[in-house]
Amino acid sequence: MLSKFNVLIAAASLSLCACGQDAKFANQDADIIGVPLEATTQLSRQDGADQSRISIFDETTRRIHQFDLSSFAFQRSFAVQYADQKHYLLYGDTSDYVVDLSKKHFSIFDSNGSENKRPVKLIGEPLSAAFRPDQNLLVVYDDVFNVGMIKLREDGSVEKSWTGGSLISGEASIRCGDLLTDGRLVLALSDRNLAIVDVTGSIDQKQWVKTIIPSNLAKQISWIAPVPDSNDQILALTVDEIALISLSTQTVLDSYPVSGMTVEKYSKAKDAHVILRSVTDGGITMKMVYAEASHVKSRALPKQERSLIHSFLDISRDEWTYVEASVASNYLIGYNDLDQARVQRKMKKYRLSDMAGLENKDLPDRAQLHLSSSYIFALFPSELGYAARYSTESDDVKIVKLFNRKYL
């Protein structure tokens, strides 16, 4: 009885989100393109190596700071428009520009620090973005369901762009999507089909240039993620299952049932995975579901009482890292935000292959955090400036401080 009740709740949540209801609900990571806008970039590149730099919006000084993670030094800082808003940043290691989004604006800081204000006109408030820095492709999805596609130059200037609406094929509209590693945009449609979009072609022709294929799933897809090291496979979540789909063969390679469970976390950091929660007589069990070698696999965390606020999977390193915390009642389940709770956060790392515990580390309170496989970056709420880089594999700590002085 309890499990059926949970499924009903999850289904209702998905439906509400599809209708464009309150975004502050369980599925903020679902029904979007890419990932929800976060305040910083990932610390790991697509190839698994750690980023050499990080851009982060400092909530204390309301500025964007950039740090060199290798030498751990403060590099530069930008003043932003609408500093009172929360800012979301997109940044690649191979290019030296920063995309800055807030509810009220969209701008790009180029390699010289010059700000290009409103490079593309947004009609609604940005909800999510998909970003391929290696190809300088940016897709922004807003709350009026427009899809802004932008091709950037190496210096961060806009080469070309086009905004498409949610009606992509017949009467079917977009539900969710993401960019594949080769730069194609895969979209799940309301008619349970998939659209493979040529982004560059769409921008050039000012219309959707796409190929429609069936998903072969019984229910609508609410969440899509590319599978690492594959241009052909995607993970797709419906109310019934997590499916691994081959785009070329248009077949479901494998699936994992989600009945009786609720989604605890959607994560595309670094490798896509979903964490499901089930409540049994034995307590709360978390299951992490991911794709590897054309199969859908899972790992279980029994008796996981504390909420998982962040999850990071690195299949190439055979590691799964998550952060747990005691959260407030308004905690956004599903939202893979490490900073939703800022006290008593604990990081745990497991060897993926046999779930051997590798790390069990308390994280600093009050700081804005970001994780990679090797580092924990912490930006503390210091008006003078204080940031730290902690190794996840040793007790090594590097500090940089007083970088906010000139901005006081």
Nearest distance in Å: CB 385, another protein: 8
In this structure, the dihedral spanned by the alpha carbons of residues 397, 36, 79 and 157, taken in order and rounded to 10 degrees, is 110
Q: Is 83 in the site for another protein (CB under 8 A)?
A: no
Q: Is 59 in the site for another protein (CB under 8 A)?
A: no
Q: Is 79 in the site for another protein (CB under 8 A)?
A: no
The site that binds another protein (CB under 8 A) totals a number of residues, namely 11
Alpha-carbon distance of 19 to 370, in angstroms, equals 32
Nearer to another protein, 12 or 399 (CB): 399
Q: Is 391 in the site for another protein (CB under 8 A)?
A: no
For another protein, the binding residue among 383, 393, 396, 397 (CB under 8 A) is 383
List the structure tokens of 55: 């851009």
Please report which helix (H) or strand (E) contains residue 205, including its range: helix 199-205
Q: Is 62 in the site for another protein (CB under 8 A)?
A: no
Q: How many CA atoms lie within 13 A of 31 on its CB side?
A: 24
- Listed in sequence order, the residues at least 6 apart from 105 whose beta carbon sits closer than 8 Å to its beta carbon are 81, 82, 85, 117, 118
For another protein, the binding residue among 141, 266, 386, 390 (CB under 8 A) is 386
Please report which helix (H) or strand (E) contains residue 277, including its range: strand 273-280
Nearer to another protein, 221 or 387 (CB): 387
286 CB-contact burial (10 Å; exposed 0-12 / middle 13-18 / buried 19+)? buried
Nearer to another protein, 83 or 123 (CB): 83
For another protein, the binding residue among 119, 177, 226, 385 (CB under 8 A) is 385
Q: Is 351 in the site for another protein (CB under 8 A)?
A: no
Q: No. of H helices and E strands in the chain?
A: 2, 33
Q: Is 67 in the site for another protein (CB under 8 A)?
A: no
Nearest distance in Å: CB 362, another protein: 17
Question: Helix, strand, or coil here: 15?
Answer: helix
Nearest distance in Å: CB 402, another protein: 6
List the structure tokens of 121: 């006109």
Distance of alpha carbon 299 from the chain centroid: 21
Please report which helix (H) or strand (E) contains residue 179, including its range: strand 172-179
For another protein, the binding residue among 192, 384, 391, 398 (CB under 8 A) is 384
| Interacting span for another protein (CB under 8 A) from 101-109, 145-153, 180-188, 381-389 | 381-389
- Binding stretches for another protein (CB under 8 A): 380-386, 401-402, 405, 408
